Structure 1
Amino acid sequence: MPKHSRHPPESDDAVNLELALEWLSRLVTGYLRVRLEHSEEFLPPPLEFYSEDSPIELFIKSQDPTREEFAAVMIALAPHLRPGFFNKILGKLLPEGGELPEFGGVTGADQRSILPTGETAQYILAGHDVRKRIEVQRFFTSDHWFAKKRILWLEPVRPGEPVMSGRLCIDPELVEWVTLGTVGRPRFSAEFPAQAIETELEWEDLVLHPETLRQIREIENWINHNRTLIEEWGMGRKLQHGYRALFHGPPGTGKTLTATLLGKYTCRDVFRVDLSRVISKYIGETEKNLALLFEKAEFKEWILFFDEADALFGKRTDVRDAHDRYANQEVSYLLQRIEQYRGLVILATNQRNHLDPAFARRFQAIIHFPMPRPEERYRIWCNAFPPQVEISQEIDWRQIAARYELSGAGIMNVIHYCVLEVLADKTRRLEPKRLEQAILREYVKEGKVV
């Protein structure tokens, strides 16, 4: 659709945004002259860009919108780039003032200039032609790619009011991307109750049972090859697009770290969902919170990690009252949204038997993270201490690993305590007595008996 001429400096993406706004201004002015002055038929101007790699043109290349679809996106984007954009155009066309109800538009709580509505897009692109107005209205149906990709939508209106009178809303992330060239991670909030998790560790630092690791590699294979399977091999008609996995096992056995490493090695952001912020005592609020979360995550290829999932996925109760009925509805709704999600969803729980058995069929993988065996604990002990710490020759890691049953996280707690102690007393040497004191300390904390 766009044409090109000379190249400005690479960082000057604002040049292309200016050209896009100028194109929209000429388009809107030309169409409005036809509507208001009954002038000759208007021929839309060509869209010209200076460079081929600015965010606004990459959007066009990736989505391949029609001219009218791109115009609708620009109509929504214009007030974010140039406040008063539509006021200026109408001021020129109506120099003596007056209203133009057909143009639509609203004002915001803190914004006095015109904010476009669906009616604005209809009037600009279709005028009073009912057939063309219906074509524009289709842009805002649930099966249009605007809605499926959460790019453009209409703000809900009061019951009985025309649907197209809703304010035209554009994805804030798209605004951020076309203006700044990047999109920051969403902040943890009530609207997005999830937090990005990262790690500096590598796969080599994660010690798992061989069977557990084999199943994790299966998930990694899905992440790396699912697009080929669904799109190129045509299996999208037969297979669900997303992947759901259940991690279960005692605390500290590597469930969270595994999810984080899967994201790190497949270049996916991993978000841990805070179920305490999702679940609400108010009827309907839990579903609303979940809807906001999944709408934000859709098409991002994020990995969603629900820790302590039994808080919401516990065994469904018999319906004795309205509270039980709504609790079961919440679970059913979350299952539905998880099955619709096209990315990877991981649920983690310490006790698999706390989950409703009926949920098992919903998962492609159910992976057990057992307590590490002596040989696995030995590997953790051997590789965990920094080289600055001198290990006493009296310490036998095989004996320590065989004698003390600790999870990986428990061992790391012991090591953390020991290295701080040797730093504090400036010895830089770990003796058996100090190690055993640290292990006893961890046992007491976990409620175990040596």
Structure 2
Amino acid sequence: MDGRNTFYRMVSKAHDNAQFVQLEMDWLQQILKARSAINAKPDTANQDLLHIPPPELDNLESPYSDLIKKHRLGPEDRFLLILAAVPHIRPQLLDMFMSRNQLTQQIYTEFGGKKAKSHNGFIPTGETILFILAGNDLKKRFQYQNLLDGTGTLFKEGILKLSDVETDESFLSGTLAISREILDLITTGRIQKPSFNNDFPAQRLHTALDWEDLVLPEDTRIELKELEIWLKHKDFLLNEWGMGKVLSPGYKALFFGPPGTGKTLTAALLGKKMGLDVYRIDLSRLVSKYIGETEKNLGKIFDRAEKQNWILFFDEADAIFGKRTSVNDAHDKYANQEVSYLLQRIEEYDGLVILATNLKGNLDEAFMRRFQSSIFFPMPQAEERLQLWKNGFPERAQLEPKVNLMSLASSYDLSGGSIINVIQHSLLMALEHDDKIIRMEDITEGVRKEFQKVGRTI
């Protein structure tokens, strides 16, 4: 029943949004018609089109109208917002800009805009915005160009952006883009969680485990508490106490230690406890042999993450932060550029960033000062391994009498991840037995397989 109620609430939000978005699009269409009429008669006074009143909000409740009220958006911002959304909602509304100059057989230069790759629609650019609002009036053009300098609410909050252009091109050639989260909000009324794909090369972490299932030394737990406290009180620290003037906006932590010691699980549990999404980025997979692709891939992640309060967990950090030698060739040069780009985005990110590595010694020491915390995840000791063995087997599973968990814990120095692998192996083998009893020989075989992975023998 709860699922059905949730569905109907989503439908209701989408319906409320549709009513208000239609009013906003009608308002945009009035502005476009007015610009078209003025353009057809060059001697017509170039009136300020934003004097055409936008729809009233007082009696309208929807996620879209709530967004406008929350950020106190005036006519200029509302115009930018609906213009950015239209290609995704009703692209034919901009077909008027697809007309071609009879002399050049190209879209009129003053219209700006670009043709979409996947459909025939028109994508507005900064130039399109200034054409609509200013036409040929140079004074108005300079006035409204201030809307695109990045200091406005929509740009500071990551709701809109102008795409990057080549260094020798006008920045107004950048396309006006709306964030996927806001587009979801003003259409369906609900922000969709991004899934791993080429446009978002990060995977959301989630776990059914709780903090009680995480076996760590007390020293490590104490250090992790600082991260939890920062997540809980960061807004008070930066805003109420004014430390935002002194401190960088986010928090950077390094998790280091052998594989299987709980680094990834800890990140997932932090998110679970604090009610935040955690996204894992494997840097060893993200680094590309093609120049510029690594920055592009990282940029997609940070662009989506900004203002979302996600925890970003970068695994295999030494793939990009490994020790560097002097610049001897083009490959070294671009590798350093990748590092610089990632450091810049991490410094600017306002949430928690965790970098994980198996060996701290693999990281360049120059990067270490950038971390507010450096937390060691050691191999578990015998007492901790015993707890892992006890926690790992399901309550309903039956162990044969000669299985001695204390002996296993003291005899085999396995990580928590390896112990889980051994337990899984023994459980699968038990399912093949008629009595479903877990046998010591299967556990021993599982241990042998884990040792073999790292070149060890029992």
Output one character per residue of 1:41-60: Cα deviation in whole Å (capped at 9) or x when no partner: 67422413586542211221
Structure 2 residue aligned with 1:29, among 28, 33, 48?
33
User: What's 1:95 paired with?
Assistant: none
Output one character per residue of 1:81-101: Cα deviation in whole Å (capped at 9) or x when no partner: 22321447999xxxxxxx987
Q: Per-residue deviation at 1:121?
A: 2.3
Q: d(CA) in 2 for partners of 1:51 and 1:254?
A: 52
> Greater CA deviation, 204-213 or 156-165?
156-165
Say if 1:317 and 1:328, in contact at 8 Å, map to a contact too.
no
> Greater CA deviation, 126-135 or 207-216?
126-135
* Corresponding letter in the other structure for 2:335: A
Q: d(CA) in 2 for partners of 1:34 and 1:261?
A: 59
Say if 1:25 and 1:89, in contact at 8 Å, map to a contact too.
no
* Corresponding letter in the other structure for 1:229: L
Q: d(CA) in 2 for partners of 1:359 and 1:223?
A: 23
The 5 A counterparts of 1:290-329 are: 290-329=298-337
Structure 2 residue aligned with 1:16, among 20, 43, 47?
20
Say if 1:388 and 1:428, in contact at 8 Å, map to a contact too.
no
Structure 2 residue aligned with 1:69, among 62, 77, 93?
77
* Residue 184 of structure 1 pairs with residue 188 of structure 2: no
Distance 1:390 1:247, change over 3 A: same
Distance 1:322 1:20, change over 3 A: closer
Q: Per-residue deviation at 1:435?
A: 3.1
Q: d(CA) in 2 for partners of 1:334 and 1:100?
A: 39
- The DSSP-based 3-state class of the residue aligned with 2:403 is coil
Q: d(CA) in 2 for partners of 1:186 and 1:278?
A: 17
Distance 1:103 1:334, change over 3 A: closer
Q: Per-residue deviation at 1:416?
A: 0.6
Say if 2:313 and 2:355, in contact at 8 Å, map to a contact too.
yes
> Greater CA deviation, 30-39 or 314-323?
30-39
Q: Per-residue deviation at 1:362?
A: 0.8
Say if 1:176 and 1:182, in contact at 8 Å, map to a contact too.
yes
Distance 1:51 1:407, change over 3 A: farther
User: What's 1:439 paired with?
Assistant: 447
> Greater CA deviation, 155-164 or 381-390?
155-164
Q: d(CA) in 1 for partners of 2:235 and 2:66?
A: 21
User: What's 2:4 paired with?
Assistant: none
Distance 1:159 1:291, change over 3 A: closer
Q: d(CA) in 2 for partners of 1:40 and 1:132?
A: 9
User: What's 2:286 paired with?
Assistant: 278
Say if 1:16 and 1:50, in contact at 8 Å, map to a contact too.
no
Q: d(CA) in 2 for partners of 1:113 and 1:193?
A: 27
Say if 1:193 and 1:273, in contact at 8 Å, map to a contact too.
yes
Distance 1:357 1:28, change over 3 A: same
Q: Per-residue deviation at 1:301?
A: 1.4
* Corresponding letter in the other structure for 2:372: Q
Q: d(CA) in 1 for partners of 2:88 and 2:230?
A: 39
Q: Per-residue deviation at 1:226?
A: 0.6
Distance 1:85 1:425, change over 3 A: same
Structure 2 residue aligned with 1:174, among 168, 171, 182?
182
The 5 A counterparts of 1:149-160 are: 149-155=157-163
Q: Per-residue deviation at 1:256?
A: 0.7
Q: Per-residue deviation at 1:251?
A: 0.8
* Corresponding letter in the other structure for 1:355: L
User: What's 1:216 paired with?
Assistant: 224
Distance 1:51 1:422, change over 3 A: farther
Output one character per residue of 1:139-179: Cα deviation in whole Å (capped at 9) or x when no partner: 22243444333333345567776543554333343223211
The 5 A counterparts of 1:70-219 are: 70-87=78-95, 102-109=110-117, 111-112=119-120, 114-155=122-163, 163-219=171-227
Q: d(CA) in 1 for partners of 2:141 and 2:46?
A: 20
- How many residues matched? 436
* Corresponding letter in the other structure for 2:282: D
Q: Per-residue deviation at 1:17?
A: 1.4
Q: d(CA) in 1 for partners of 2:331 and 2:124?
A: 42
* Corresponding letter in the other structure for 1:375: E
Q: Per-residue deviation at 1:36?
A: 5.2
Output one character per residue of 1:324-355: Cα deviation in whole Å (capped at 9) or x when no partner: 33323332332222222111111111111111
* Residue 230 of structure 1 pairs with residue 254 of structure 2: no
Say if 2:54 and 2:75, in contact at 8 Å, map to a contact too.
no
Q: d(CA) in 2 for partners of 1:66 and 1:198?
A: 39
CA RMSD of aligned residues (A): 3.0
Structure 1 residue aligned with 2:376, among 362, 368, 374?
368
Q: When the two structures are superposed, what TM-score results if normalisation uses the length of structure 1?
A: 0.86
Say if 1:117 and 1:154, in contact at 8 Å, map to a contact too.
yes
- The DSSP-based 3-state class of the residue aligned with 2:91 is coil
Structure 2 residue aligned with 1:288, among 275, 284, 296?
296
Q: d(CA) in 1 for partners of 2:46 and 2:365?
A: 69
Say if 2:46 and 2:135, in contact at 8 Å, map to a contact too.
no
Q: d(CA) in 2 for partners of 1:236 and 1:322?
A: 38
* Residue 254 of structure 1 pairs with residue 272 of structure 2: no
Output one character per residue of 1:202-261: Cα deviation in whole Å (capped at 9) or x when no partner: 111111111111111211111111112112221100111111111111111001111111
Q: d(CA) in 1 for partners of 2:333 and 2:75?
A: 49
Structure 2 residue aligned with 1:44, among 44, 47, 52?
52
User: What's 1:59 paired with?
Assistant: 67
Distance 1:175 1:352, change over 3 A: same
* Corresponding letter in the other structure for 1:19: L
> Greater CA deviation, 169-178 or 46-55?
46-55
User: What's 2:6 paired with?
Assistant: none
Q: Per-residue deviation at 1:22?
A: 1.9
Q: d(CA) in 2 for partners of 1:334 and 1:158?
A: 20
Say if 2:425 and 2:442, in contact at 8 Å, map to a contact too.
no
Q: d(CA) in 2 for partners of 1:439 and 1:277?
A: 29
> Greater CA deviation, 339-348 or 75-84?
75-84
Q: Which runs of 5+ in 1 are unaligned?
A: 1-7, 92-98
> Greater CA deviation, 347-356 or 17-26?
17-26
Q: d(CA) in 1 for partners of 2:124 and 2:340?
A: 37
Q: Per-residue deviation at 1:399?
A: 2.7
Q: d(CA) in 2 for partners of 1:65 and 1:191?
A: 30
Q: d(CA) in 1 for partners of 2:306 and 2:98?
A: 37
